[in-house]
Structure 1
Amino acid sequence: MAGAGHWRSDASRNMFLWSPEIYRILGFAPETQPTVELVRSHYHPDDAQRVALAMQESIRTGALAPFRFRWIRPDGRTIHVQVAGQVDRGTEMIGIMRDVTQEVETERALLAARDQVRATERSKAEMLELLRREVRAPIQSLLSSLDAVRRSPSEAQRASQLAALAQAADGVMAVIDEMLDFTRVDAGRVVIESINFDLRALVRTTADLFNGAAAAKGLTIEGHGLEGEPVAVRGDPARLQQILSNLLGNAVKYTESGTVSLALSPTRSDGDTDWWMMIVRDSGNGIDQEVLGRIFARGEQVDAARLRLHGRSGLGLAISQQLAEAMGGSIAASSEPGKGTTFSIELPFRRSDGILQLSPEHETAGPMRILLAEDNPINRRLMAGLLTREGHDVLAVEDGRKALSAIATQPFDLVLMDMQMPELDGLEATRAIRALDPPSANVPILAISADSAPERRRIYFDAGIDSFLPKPIVSGQLLEMIGTMRRVRPAAGASCGDRFDRERLNLLVERAGYEDAALLMRTLLADLSDRPRRIAAAIRAQAWEIAASEADALRTMLDSFGNFSLSRLLVAIGRQCSRHECQPAVVAELFDQAKALAVLLDQEMGSAPAAIAPAARVLVEPQSSLG
């Protein structure tokens, strides 16, 4: 048998005979003399008794059935061996031995994989059951409200039904968000960011978010340690706000009278890290001690009926605990029935290594020119309507290509960019915009996306966005975010529109005559047809100097006849080529703008001196020559 060693033993005479393979398996030198004491000293302590019982049973039955045990080699490594044998001539036994360590490890890996699959299946089943149970009530409320609104009630009834509709939709989203967050955390896919932020301002702002819900119930939210100088730290503000929102939301929901308080205070320091304690306390009914020990378990519902009423899944506390631990901290709860509940979170934050970008509170409000790129027509209409009602000038487009084209030809104060769009997605559109020349390249970009996982957000920020807002969009959050992103708008006269200078053409006709003027126009139209293709081919071949030279030649010709957006795009392409790069979306925009400009010039020639248009069209038909 391959890999097997042979042995003979007689324990009564302290006699052992091993084949060379057994010496190799057990880790002894060939000259070693095996004895009962030596052999027993290398049994794994947990297996020694089992080996002795097996040997006694073999003497009684005359056969040693195959069995495995652990052996500690002289080099300290533990292996698994399998032995089998039979009695031969009285007390002597003969048998074989194999090293089965690899087999045992493979079996363990298979068992672990099987257990993992079973655990995953159980987790999925639990989540599906939770989804079925928890989403059904708010969905039913949603459908009922929609049906009531569809029947066109009076204005007073409509307002009530719309409020119920919004509440039901919020309930559905709350459950879905919690379940998505929990599955992310449970699978170990959560990514904790480390960015600079004002800890005190974030905690204060989070408390302010619940003032309306508290006031509706006659409650007050008290803050302690939330005023004063900014506390600049590095950490994950989004995850911290999620934890605090879970705790404050529960406190407000389950407190019928009295107060809810949120306190912030430092606890200790360790090198460049400070530990901060946040305490959420309510004056509700409290939680029984027997239940208190289970409240951080998945799906644990202290009051299942009330949780269903409020559209909660019971996952919020489990998520909060796992997030706190992922951030290097901890969360604890204490309660006394009838006297309220207290949650305390202690988290470490490194001190900020940069200057906080705090929005000035006296910033001047006013209308902004906003570009909205959103492929969903309903979302596009709703957001455009909201921004227009706020007094902003909004241009709404349905894909990234049109957003890039608008940025290249018009000035904007802000771009709202959906990151998942057809034609050209928000990620590539953002990269293409940042590759343009100022002021187009510097326009603030607010990304909006349903995919708000930290790893995706990091990709968005690396592409050049300035801020991020997750879907579904809440109007108040959108307007607040826009307010914090105001920047100085482009100076007057920085308009990026196209302007054909007829005076230059008239002057050219006066000086050179119709024939030479027509030849120059033919050259311009031919260049608009041909040079974009040559530029694109050079870029594909990474012939950067040729591409830059072609772009400069076309720009020089264009500048002779007016002020065109294509000229500025060609300058941007030239600068990108000097860095040995050029975004594909910029090349696509080159073709689009060249085609549009050819049409414009064709129209403008109709008002030029009569002999120019026919002469210029002899060789070039711009509308059919550009692809």
Structure 2
Amino acid sequence: MSCLVPRDSPGEPSASVASRSKPRRLESGSAAARADLCLRLLVEASSDCAVFTLHADGRVADWNAGGHSLFGGEPSEMVHKPLAALFAPDEQADGLPGRMLDEAMRGGVSTNVAWCNRVDGTRFAARIECRAITGPAGTILGYGCVVRDLTEKRELDRLRAEARKDEGPPHDGAAGTASTALLSMISHEIRTPLTGIKGFTEALALQDLTPLQRRYVELAGASCAALMSVVDDLLDFSALEAGDIDLKEEAFAVAGLAHGALSMVLGTAAPKSLALSLSVAPNVPPTIVGDRGRIRQILLNLLANAVKFTLRGSIRLAITAERGAGGADMLKFAVVDTGIGIPEDRLSRLFNRFSQADASIRDRFGGSGLGLAICKQLVERMGGEIGVETALGHGSTFWFTIRMRRAPVAAAPGAPRLQGGAPPRGVRVLLVDDGRMNQEIARIFLEHAGYDVKVADDGAAALMALEQDTYDIVLMDMQMPGMDGAEATRRIRARGGRFAEMPIVALSARVFSEDVAECLDAGMNGHLAKPFDRAEMVATIERFTAKAA
């Protein structure tokens, strides 16, 4: 695929294209060749959008894999056709394709929202950006077009329009539905490219690298993790504001949770030579009942902040049991650091949303300003309080309490089966995903972990694969053309027998509670969020295949 300049079709050169001299052959290893290759790889990696190149007369010259996914059909069905062929008949009649080329020719770029036609005749709402590709003296050599599917956005606009039609002030339910739909769409759009960035960064880390290359990979991974943290904070805060978070009740080991949280910040504490320690008071019960995931989330936020703002010294996590107001049993967690401390006049704003102790903090250390606000809401949902004791230049102690429920001894969870060892060999995984990038990343992770992996491109292909062979678990993408993950799962379950009990885990960039509920309602056993986390993916497969065995 030519990404820099559109190809001329044989025997049909446009006037402006034919008049230019024949481009020289790029020598292997030249800067121009490397730039062209990089651009090609980037365009092909854009599987969530269609990228077209056009001749100077507006005919399609080439397209990427995303064009095939979005419009269907084969390249031969679209190449050499006019730009208007991408649009629905009413948009063609309105003259939009011609206006877009005129605008791009005059101003360099034209952006519009319009209805497009797939090869099979179905239509979808899309955002289309068209840019002129110019040569010497401003000669138009061709155009580049990027097309993104906006079907979900149009549905959101419909929900908003219905909400506005209601008499009186907007109904909280309708506004909440529209807000959730917007955040779900934003989450999906951000998480989809992040899957590639995070996945291939982790895949690179598995290779033999020079120290400098490994350093670059680590920095890329840290940047990706920071961006994921901001995305997760925004989604969590929105869900809390809408009252859309349900706390789980499960028995877990207090010390085990604390050790796990400390181990997750060890990688960022080690370069600073920070000493990490844990103290658990004798009166703390070994197991309690509560939402282990949310408690760990609060701990990780406080520990990560302590590491971020401590340049030298130590960080200690202390856990004690105490009596709260009304005689309630409370569990108290305190993160004590020797960091920079916080000015007294800044303390009142710490737990407010989008707020940090000092404007310079965001510039120096980053962050969304939502972490502590989320922690505060979660702690209050668990019947506790959160606070801080600090002295500028002498460190801080962030603490929180939660209402404690002791777990019966019989409910104490056993040690996990995997403690850094390899998963059992011979486990067969059917990976169902229409995205080539997702397939490649997941396959790298799974095969590196020792699994036997088979890939299916959509729900129909998954059904066929299950007829022809036996698998221990299915990892099922939710959004696929043709038969999506939910429908494929229902059909698998309808077959009965071994298919009724086969573990099926959703793969989705949609992470709201209603999205997870949709997966479970379809008959799936669990949910894995994109971008993939390699350790979580392996642990999930291990858990479900162990249950099945």
What TM-score comes out, normalization by structure 2 length? 0.56
The 8 Å contact of residues 400 and 426 in structure 1, kept in 2 or not, is answered as yes
* Cα separation, partners in 2 of 1:450 and 1:364, compared to 1, 3 Å: closer
Residue in structure 2 matched with residue 366 of structure 1 by the alignment: 424
The alpha-carbon deviation at position 261 of structure 1 amounts to 1.6
Residue in structure 1 matched with residue 449 of structure 2 by the alignment: 390
Distance (whole Å) between structure 2 residues aligned to residue 187 and residue 263 of structure 1: 33
Distance (whole Å) between structure 2 residues aligned to residue 327 and residue 242 of structure 1: 13
* Cα separation, partners in 2 of 1:229 and 1:262, compared to 1, 3 Å: closer
* Cα separation, partners in 2 of 1:165 and 1:349, compared to 1, 3 Å: same
Alignment partner of 1:256: what SS? Answer: coil
Query: Which amino acid in 2 is paired with 1:378?
Result: M
Whether 2:380 is the aligned partner of 1:325: answer yes
Picking from 299, 310, 324, the partner of 1:244 is 299
Distance (whole Å) between structure 1 residues aligned to residue 327 and residue 289 of structure 2: 11
The alpha-carbon deviation at position 454 of structure 1 amounts to 3.3
Whether 2:335 is the aligned partner of 1:277: answer no
The alpha-carbon deviation at position 352 of structure 1 amounts to 4.7
Picking from 244, 248, 252, the partner of 1:193 is 248
The 8 Å contact of residues 272 and 351 in structure 1, kept in 2 or not, is answered as no
Residue in structure 2 matched with residue 598 of structure 1 by the alignment: none
Whether 2:345 is the aligned partner of 1:290: answer yes
For residues 545-574 of structure 1, give each alpha carbon's deviation from its aligned partner in whole angstroms, at most 9, with x where no partner exists: xxxxxxxxxxxxxxxxxxxxxxxxxxxxxx
Alignment partner of 2:317: what SS? Answer: strand
Query: Which amino acid in 2 is paired with 1:251?
Result: A
The 8 Å contact of residues 519 and 526 in structure 2, kept in 1 or not, is answered as no
The 8 Å contact of residues 285 and 406 in structure 2, kept in 1 or not, is answered as no
The 8 Å contact of residues 296 and 317 in structure 1, kept in 2 or not, is answered as yes
Distance (whole Å) between structure 2 residues aligned to residue 408 and residue 227 of structure 1: 56
* Cα separation, partners in 2 of 1:300 and 1:431, compared to 1, 3 Å: same
The alpha-carbon deviation at position 155 of structure 1 amounts to 6.3
* Cα separation, partners in 2 of 1:254 and 1:333, compared to 1, 3 Å: same
Distance (whole Å) between structure 2 residues aligned to residue 274 and residue 469 of structure 1: 35
Q: How does 1:35-184 map to 2 (within 5 A)?
A: 113=169, 158-184=213-239
Picking from 496, 499, 504, the partner of 1:440 is 499
* Cα separation, partners in 2 of 1:189 and 1:344, compared to 1, 3 Å: same
Alignment partner of 1:293: what SS? Answer: helix
* Cα separation, partners in 2 of 1:165 and 1:423, compared to 1, 3 Å: same
Distance (whole Å) between structure 1 residues aligned to residue 213 and residue 257 of structure 2: 36
For residues 329-351 of structure 1, give each alpha carbon's deviation from its aligned partner in whole angstroms, at most 9, with x where no partner exists: 22111111222111111112444
Distance (whole Å) between structure 2 residues aligned to residue 183 and residue 298 of structure 1: 11
Alignment partner of 1:487: what SS? Answer: helix
Picking from 429, 452, 457, the partner of 2:516 is 457
For residues 56-104 of structure 1, give each alpha carbon's deviation from its aligned partner in whole angstroms, at most 9, with x where no partner exists: xxxxxxxxxxxxxxxxxxxxxxxxxxxxxxxxxxxxxxxxxxxxxxxxx
The alpha-carbon deviation at position 310 of structure 1 amounts to 3.9
Distance (whole Å) between structure 1 residues aligned to residue 318 and residue 471 of structure 2: 42
Distance (whole Å) between structure 1 residues aligned to residue 397 and residue 460 of structure 2: 52
* Cα separation, partners in 2 of 1:155 and 1:202, compared to 1, 3 Å: closer
* Cα separation, partners in 2 of 1:197 and 1:376, compared to 1, 3 Å: farther
Distance (whole Å) between structure 2 residues aligned to residue 443 and residue 171 of structure 1: 36
Alignment partner of 1:281: what SS? Answer: strand
Identity of counterpart residues, as a percentage? 33
Picking from 419, 429, 453, the partner of 2:478 is 419
Distance (whole Å) between structure 2 residues aligned to residue 164 and residue 414 of structure 1: 34
Query: Which amino acid in 2 is paired with 1:311?
Result: G
Residue in structure 2 matched with residue 266 of structure 1 by the alignment: 321
The alpha-carbon deviation at position 159 of structure 1 amounts to 4.1
Distance (whole Å) between structure 2 residues aligned to residue 360 and residue 226 of structure 1: 28
Picking from 355, 369, 375, the partner of 2:434 is 375
Distance (whole Å) between structure 1 residues aligned to residue 493 and residue 329 of structure 2: 37
Distance (whole Å) between structure 1 residues aligned to residue 457 and residue 282 of structure 2: 43
* Cα separation, partners in 2 of 1:326 and 1:429, compared to 1, 3 Å: farther
Identify the structure with bigger relative contact order (alpha carbons < 8 Å, sequence gap 6+).
2
CA RMSD in angstroms comes to 4.2
* Cα separation, partners in 2 of 1:300 and 1:401, compared to 1, 3 Å: same
For residues 181-235 of structure 1, give each alpha carbon's deviation from its aligned partner in whole angstroms, at most 9, with x where no partner exists: 2222223333333344444433321221111111122112211229999844443
The alpha-carbon deviation at position 156 of structure 1 amounts to 6.2
Q: Which moved more, 1:163-172 or 1:316-325?
A: 163-172
The alpha-carbon deviation at position 408 of structure 1 amounts to 4.3
The 8 Å contact of residues 284 and 320 in structure 2, kept in 1 or not, is answered as no
Whether 2:544 is the aligned partner of 1:477: answer no
Q: How does 1:465-614 map to 2 (within 5 A)?
A: 465-487=524-546
The 8 Å contact of residues 292 and 334 in structure 1, kept in 2 or not, is answered as no
Distance (whole Å) between structure 1 residues aligned to residue 325 and residue 418 of structure 2: 34
The 8 Å contact of residues 439 and 455 in structure 2, kept in 1 or not, is answered as yes
Rg larger in structure: 1
Distance (whole Å) between structure 2 residues aligned to residue 398 and residue 210 of structure 1: 37
Alignment partner of 1:165: what SS? Answer: helix
Distance (whole Å) between structure 2 residues aligned to residue 168 and residue 312 of structure 1: 11
Alignment partner of 1:278: what SS? Answer: strand
The alpha-carbon deviation at position 247 of structure 1 amounts to 0.9
For residues 100-138 of structure 1, give each alpha carbon's deviation from its aligned partner in whole angstroms, at most 9, with x where no partner exists: xxxxxxxxxx9x959x9xx99xx99xx9xxx9xxx9xxx
Distance (whole Å) between structure 2 residues aligned to residue 400 and residue 446 of structure 1: 14
* Cα separation, partners in 2 of 1:388 and 1:265, compared to 1, 3 Å: same
The 8 Å contact of residues 273 and 351 in structure 1, kept in 2 or not, is answered as no
5+ residue gaps, structure 2: 1-165
Distance (whole Å) between structure 1 residues aligned to residue 317 and residue 453 of structure 2: 39
Whether 2:257 is the aligned partner of 1:202: answer yes
For residues 228-276 of structure 1, give each alpha carbon's deviation from its aligned partner in whole angstroms, at most 9, with x where no partner exists: 9984444322222221121111111111111112222332499998532
The runs of at least 4 consecutive aligned structure 1 residues that moved more than 6 Å come to 226-230, 269-273
